[in-house]
Structure formats: C-alpha cells, structure tokens
Amino acid sequence: MMKIQIKSTNVQYNDQGEVNTVQVHFSGHNDSRTIHINGYIPLTAEEYTGNEGLAALTGMVRQNLADQLAVV
C-alpha cells in the first residue's frame, strides 16, 4: 500500500478573489520504502470545492496516480 502525504496546496485566485486553480503537492512511498513518488496534481475550482480536506485530497491524488499508471 502506498502511503500518500499531502505536502501543500497552492491556490491561485482570479481577479474577483475566487479560486481559479489549485495545485495539490504530494509525496508517497510504499511500506518498505523501496518506491518513492512525488509531484502535484492540478485541480479546477470545481474539483477543489468541497474536497478541501486532507482525506478528500489524498483520495483524489490516489485516483489520479492510479489513472496515470493505468496508461503506462
């Protein structure tokens, strides 16, 4: 099982002060620490709204990683 940790969120706002886009930076590793991964996923304001909590963001990162690895 990969352990994913949210490191930071970078929120960009538009001229009206509303959320425009969000970068969710993360790192992760498996239990034996033989596999490491890090990066960020971009989210739209719609994707971010209602998913601001760590559990929700971690789930979104996991899903994004699974989707990306399925393409390989």
pLDDT, tens digit, for every residue of 16-33? Answer: 999 999 999 999 999 999
Residue 10 tokens, joined: 């970078």
pLDDT, tens digit (0-9, with 9 covering 90-100), for 31-60:
999 999 999 999 999 999 999 999 999 999
- What single-letter DSSP state applies at residue 14? -
Band (71; pLDDT cuts 50, 70, 90) = confident
Distance CA(53)–CA(34), nearest Å, equals 28
Find tokens 């352990």 and name the residue: 3
Residue 50 tokens, joined: 């209602």
* pLDDT, position 28: 97
Coil vs helix vs strand at 48 = helix
* pLDDT, position 55: 97
